[in-house]
Amino acid sequence: MAMVHVVRYESPQAWAEHVAARFASFLADQPAARVALPTGATPEPVYAGIVEAVRAGVASFGRAHVFLLDEFGGVPPDAKGRCDVMLHRALLDHVDVRPGHYHKLDPEAPDVEAMCAAYDAALKQPLDLVMLGIGRNGHVGMNEPGTPPDSGTRRVELAPSTTQASVRYFGEGAALPTWGITLGLAQILAARTIWILATGEGKADIVRDVLLEPVSASRPASLLRGHPDCWFLLDAAAASKLPVGVLTRG
């Protein structure tokens, strides 16, 4: 069985600095990398660090391809919580990704199924890196509990808790999404490297369960444990319910 790497950083600041530096050196090694990127609260400080690295000339997206990991449907395309809008705000507006090198998922496409099939066709050449957050129910991207590992990019119904949690992105009183489009677990598992980011006490229980309980589609992130190069990059709070023996040296 593949061994998952679990790295713990002392503080949220140290975590963000290290993950950003890790991403900058990944891009330096593989300048033409194809990467899938998440949105949400977790990666924001990492993106701030990556923006700094690009501004300082330490990293460049000049030859890279960025694929959006997932997108909310049924809400206006310019809503502040849309994944595309969040990724622009945190990263894309400040770095040198070429316009044709950014690939997004379009819930407004007249034929969503065809749009998803085209995304998967573009990913026949596997991604070099998929960066992920993790939901409190173990979802990755919008692959909610019960998702089989061979699922492709597709329209999904969100778990009610995921809809509720999205109020943090869309704001109080705004219409919240009940569905979305997500990169499938098949494309995530086909990637050369997977990084799962988690910070804060609120993620400690799910991080423990995903790593220590039996692998199960009821916690989709646990399915990634079988991947040959999977890294859980955690701050101390998110790692606080793990026994020391589980940790890999950073």
- Please report, as ranges, the residues that interact with ligand F6R according to CB under 6 A: 38-42, 69-70, 83, 133-135, 139-141
Rounded distance, CA 180 to CA 101, Å?
22
Task: For residue 111, indicate whether it is catalytic.
Answer: no
Least distance to ligand F6R from the beta carbon of 165, Å?
Answer: 6
Among 144, 209, 227, 235, the one annotated catalytic: 144
User: Which of residues 3 and 220 has its CB atom nearest to ligand F6R in the complex?
Assistant: 220
Task: For residue 70, indicate whether it is catalytic.
Answer: yes
Among 18, 65, 139, 227, the one annotated catalytic: 139
Rounded distance, CA 13 to CA 207, Å?
19
Q: Could you give the C-alpha distances from 50 to 59, 97, 215, in angstroms and in order?
A: 8, 12, 32
- Compute φ and ψ for 47, nearest 5 degrees: -60, -35
Least distance to ligand F6R from the beta carbon of 56, Å?
Answer: 26
User: Which of residues 133 and 184 has its CB atom nearest to ligand F6R in the complex?
Assistant: 133
Task: For residue 71, indicate whether it is catalytic.
Answer: no
Task: For residue 137, indicate whether it is catalytic.
Answer: yes
Least distance to ligand F6R from the beta carbon of 210, Å?
Answer: 13
Rounded distance, CA 39 to CA 86, Å?
6
User: How many CB atoms sit inside 10 A of residue 61's CB?
Assistant: 21
Residues forming the active site: 70, 137, 139, 144
